Chains A and B, each alone.
With several copies, the nearest count.
Chain A
């Protein structure tokens, strides 16, 4: 097992990794930018290294600084958390060269999954259902038009290097296609440095369903069931849950088997997530695989009892998975709300000093946060200040529990998304489990229409 792990991240996920390391008896090294000097992850790591100024590009995204920090502290592994360098094949490669274990999949796998068009091809070959579309980047307008006609409109144009909603365009008629491709290419070029885009079938109001997998270095892969993350705004997830009300036990088993086969086909190791769209008829289409810990991993931990971060570390250290697929059980229902420092109506970020911070306890409540009374939420990084996760015997209990937890959460000094989350939790469609990725669009329109009346809080 590792002696010392450097955590190349900040905020709640850095703390999450410290929890896991302490439980495993592993020392930790925090890295931090000058803006995070007083952060809890710095306080609770055994060692800490300042790696640069506040701007992420100069600190948390600075591979030489991270590697040097690992070298001068003698860390034998790096956990990248999520975001920042977590899907950097380059960091994983440098780690290999420097004999530091990268806690994540091999660089080739990260690179493969990072190329969305290539990943599609490989997944299709592995028997994973994918949306009909171009097998690679579009290089010819006529062929694109013919393909779109074969698939049937609407189609979506997507950047091969994409993510976060950039470089995407929905096309509903042939006349729009050429313009959409060009715009998407321009956006992709600007955002990712690669202009390549591909076309696939566009599914109206799908559910976002993702499967969590864990694979060790001995050929064992298990899945930990699905998460439903359909509540998104501009491709940012706001509420996640497990299990999804849309999946029967039979479908869960079937899809679980498919993702295990897919993971094995690419020799996937460590933790990963296979994201799917699910259409109104219950058909699944592979979207992409995330080669890292997900923000929403706690909902899976709550229903399975598996500590995913500890498993990541054990796997990276070469241990075998400590359980078999048949030993994975799913109990109750879990929901996560991502509490952001932002105006709940306008979504404008609200950094600043939190004067009062208090989250209630009680059964089935878990809080992941770096916030505390008298802490500063920095404007340099993303606005997530806390993840509140609840577990209940069933979905109605989980919803009731989340409501009372959010109602009794006190954050003074900055604005948070809690009032918006409470409105979502009280929405009849949400309560009925009628979810889709267009939920938020409808929800916000309804709210606008009602003239911002009837505040839930």
Chain B
């Protein structure tokens, strides 16, 4: 998603006179709220569109992911805070995902494992090379998105870590 697409979405929001628009799709989360209250428009000078864009993930760095669908502005703020505690580890390369150093061996991590920055989370095999993927955070593994032995694309989600 680039700026143009965001602009187009904002145009749609205006066109359809939406008060709220929220989308989450492949690592991107976009939320738009618009105070289209006639009274405000009349009395206040600025009908400001609020656009909340989470820090866009640079290639393969952890990005915020929401844990709850916010129902109000207050909740949304809470959710945003909650978001910041989750880091998603994405695949920096294309290859095959392995959870253990060799067939039959124990997995590097499980859901619930406590991990430290620099700890190996998995291996991605690319061009016969085994690439170890390290954690960039201290925290707890709360989700593993990919099955052992499954191919992964660039940018595909691998783990969610609740950071501390």
Check A-B contact in the complex, CB < 8 A: yes
Contact residues in A for B2 (Cβ distance below 8 Å): 35, 38, 376
Alpha-carbon distance A38/B4, docked complex (angstroms): 11
Alpha-carbon distance A59/B152, docked complex (angstroms): 15
Q: State the Cβ distance, B95 to closest chain A Cβ, in Å.
A: 5
A58 touches B59 (CB 8 A): yes
Contact residues in A for B93 (Cβ distance below 8 Å): 64-65, 68
From A68, A98, A376, contact of B94 by CB (8 A): A68
From A51, A355, A374, contact of B153 by CB (8 A): A51
Contact residues in B for A367 (Cβ distance below 8 Å): none
Alpha-carbon distance A32/B129, docked complex (angstroms): 22
Q: State the Cβ distance, A380 to closest chain B Cβ, in Å.
A: 10
> Given A53-B59, A353-B4, A353-B8, are A34 and B95 also a contact pair (CB < 8 Å)?
no
Contact residues in A for B129 (Cβ distance below 8 Å): 64
A69 touches B127 (CB 8 A): no
User: How many B residues have CB within 8 A of the partner chain?
Assistant: 20
Tell me if A232 counts as interface (CB < 8 A to partner B). no
From B4, B152, B153, B155, contact of A376 by CB (8 A): B4
Q: State the Cβ distance, A353 to closest chain B Cβ, in Å.
A: 5
Tell me if B18 counts as interface (CB < 8 A to partner A). no
Tell me if B96 counts as interface (CB < 8 A to partner A). yes
Contact residues in B for A34 (Cβ distance below 8 Å): 59, 154-155
Tell me if B54 counts as interface (CB < 8 A to partner A). no
Q: Could you list 8 A-B pairs, sorted by A, with CB under 8 Å?
A: A50-B153, A51-B94, A51-B154, A65-B93, A68-B94, A72-B152, A353-B4, A353-B8
Tell me if B156 counts as interface (CB < 8 A to partner A). yes
B4 touches A65 (CB 8 A): no
Q: Mark A335-355, 1 if CB is under 8 A from B, else 0.
A: 000000000000000001101
Alpha-carbon distance A94/B127, docked complex (angstroms): 9
Tell me if A18 counts as interface (CB < 8 A to partner B). no
The winner among B2, B8, B129, B151 for most chain A CB atoms within 10 A is: B2
Contact residues in B for A72 (Cβ distance below 8 Å): 94-96, 151-152
Contact residues in B for A356 (Cβ distance below 8 Å): 4
Q: Mark A38-54, 1 if CB is under 8 A from B, else 0.
A: 10000000000111110
Alpha-carbon distance A65/B95, docked complex (angstroms): 8
**Interfacial residues, chain B to chain A (CB-CB below 8 A):** 2-5, 8, 59, 93-96, 126-129, 151-156
Alpha-carbon distance A51/B93, docked complex (angstroms): 7
Interface set, chain A 44-93, CB cutoff 8 A to B: 49-53, 58-59, 64-65, 67-69, 71-73
> Given A65-B94, A68-B94, A72-B96, are A355 and B154 also a contact pair (CB < 8 Å)?
no
> Given A68-B93, A72-B94, are A374 and B4 also a contact pair (CB < 8 Å)?
yes
Q: State the Cβ distance, B136 to closest chain A Cβ, in Å.
A: 17
Which size bracket describes the interface of A in this complex?
20 to 34
Alpha-carbon distance A352/B5, docked complex (angstroms): 11
The winner among B4, B95, B126 for most chain A CB atoms within 10 A is: B4
From B4, B127, B151, B155, contact of A355 by CB (8 A): B4
Contact residues in B for A53 (Cβ distance below 8 Å): 59, 154-155
Q: A71-B127, A412-B4 are in contact. List 9 more A-B contacts (CB 8 A).
A: A34-B155, A50-B153, A50-B155, A58-B59, A64-B127, A68-B126, A374-B3, A374-B4, A376-B5
B154 touches A352 (CB 8 A): no
Alpha-carbon distance A73/B93, docked complex (angstroms): 15
Contact residues in A for B94 (Cβ distance below 8 Å): 49-52, 64-65, 68-69, 72
Contact residues in A for B59 (Cβ distance below 8 Å): 34, 52-53, 58
A68 touches B95 (CB 8 A): yes
Q: State the Cβ distance, B149 to closest chain A Cβ, in Å.
A: 10
Contact residues in B for A98 (Cβ distance below 8 Å): 127-128
B8 touches A65 (CB 8 A): no
> Given A353-B4, A353-B8, are A64 and B154 also a contact pair (CB < 8 Å)?
no
Contact residues in A for B152 (Cβ distance below 8 Å): 72
From A59, A64, A73, A352, contact of B126 by CB (8 A): A64
Contact residues in B for A67 (Cβ distance below 8 Å): 126-127
Q: State the Cβ distance, A39 to closest chain B Cβ, in Å.
A: 11
Q: State the Cβ distance, B91 to closest chain A Cβ, in Å.
A: 9
Contact residues in B for A58 (Cβ distance below 8 Å): 59
Q: State the Cβ distance, A49 to closest chain B Cβ, in Å.
A: 5
Q: State the Cβ distance, A51 to closest chain B Cβ, in Å.
A: 5
Q: State the Cβ distance, B103 to closest chain A Cβ, in Å.
A: 18
B153 touches A49 (CB 8 A): yes
B4 touches A352 (CB 8 A): yes
Contact residues in B for A376 (Cβ distance below 8 Å): 2, 4-5
From B96, B127, B128, B154, contact of A50 by CB (8 A): B154
